[in-house]
Amino acid sequence: MAQSNVVVSAVSDMELVTRKTAIEKVNQLPTDQLQRVLKLIKSPKAISYLSSDLKFAMLQKFL
């Protein structure tokens, strides 16, 4: 199985734990789902839903 090391930077220990946990969860996704997440990350509209508390709440209710 192929492996790679990734450097994660954070301004605090709590932020580092959050970032590491997120990466570990994303790593568990199948490749096709990971490709879809990548498309969302590249979308300014999708990012706006993650950046706004109100839009994120709407997104959560929709899902």
Instruction: Print pLDDT tens along the chain (63 aa).
Output: 899 999 999 999 999 999 999 999 999 999 999 999 999 999 999 999 999 999 999 999 998
The owner of tokens 């930077």 is 9
Tell me how many domains the chain contains. Answer: 1
Flag whether 57 is in a domain: yes
Rounded CA separation 29/3 (Å): 15
Structural contact between residues 38 and 44, judged by C-beta atoms closer than 8 angstroms: no
Q: What is this structure's pTM?
A: 0.75
Flag whether 15 is in a domain: no
pLDDT of 53 reads 95
Rounded CA separation 26/50 (Å): 16
pLDDT of 16 reads 97
pLDDT of 1 reads 85
Structural contact between residues 23 and 8, judged by C-beta atoms closer than 8 angstroms: yes
Flag whether 60 is in a domain: yes
